[in-house]
């Protein structure tokens, strides 16, 4: 699998409009080479450079098997992020440049879980269902 965005390249800066200093909407993502047997996708966006440990920005699951996630959309059911919300929370580092990991998983089945699940719980549940995974890393520093 491969995950890209038309808005930024791997290990390059995320445009301001997708951060807390802009429109705070999710960037568009392009998903290539999803395994044929996949029944759903899951997406986790987190920041391992946060001072309090990895900060979770977005948790989405039961995404239909698609080749693109549009900008400013809710592609599936949402878990709870570390802002305490069930939506996308854009990059907003207090200092320095942080890395934001967009991780997409192709799963053997639709999970049919309730919204609001935490990242750690979702990661544990999907372990036995993963057919493929891809990752895109974006960078951001407050301007």
Q: What is the spatial distance between Cα 70 and Cα 73, in angstroms, rounded to a whole number?
A: 6
> How are the residues of the chain apportioned to helix, strand and coil, as percentages rounded to the nearest 5?
10, 35, 55
Handedness of CA 104, 60, 23, 28 (dihedral sign): positive
For domain 2-129, say whether CATH 3.90.280.10 is its number: yes
pLDDT by 10-residue block (mean), the chain, 143 residues: 98 98 98 98 97 96 98 98 97 96 98 97 97 98 92
- pLDDT at position 73 is 97
- pLDDT at position 143 is 86
Q: What is the pTM of this model?
A: 0.97
């Amino acid at each position: 699998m491969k995950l890209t965005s038309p808005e930024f390249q791997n290990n390059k800066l995320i445009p301001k409009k997708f951060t807390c200093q802009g429109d705070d909407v999710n960037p568009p993502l392009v998903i290539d080479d999803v395994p044929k047997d996949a029944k759903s996708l899951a997406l986790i966006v987190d920041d391992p450079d946060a001072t309090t440990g990895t900060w979770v920005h977005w948790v989405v699951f039961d995404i239909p098997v698609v080749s693109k996630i549009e900008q400013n959309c809710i592609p599936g059911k949402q878990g709870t992020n570390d802002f305490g919300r069930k939506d996308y929370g854009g990059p907003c580092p207090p200092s320095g440049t942080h890395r934001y990991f967009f991780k997409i998983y192709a799963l053997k089945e639709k999970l049919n879980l309730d919204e609001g699940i935490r990242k750690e719980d979702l990661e544990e549940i999907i372990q036995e269902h993963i057919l493929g995974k891809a990752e895109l890393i974006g960078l951001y520093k407050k301007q």
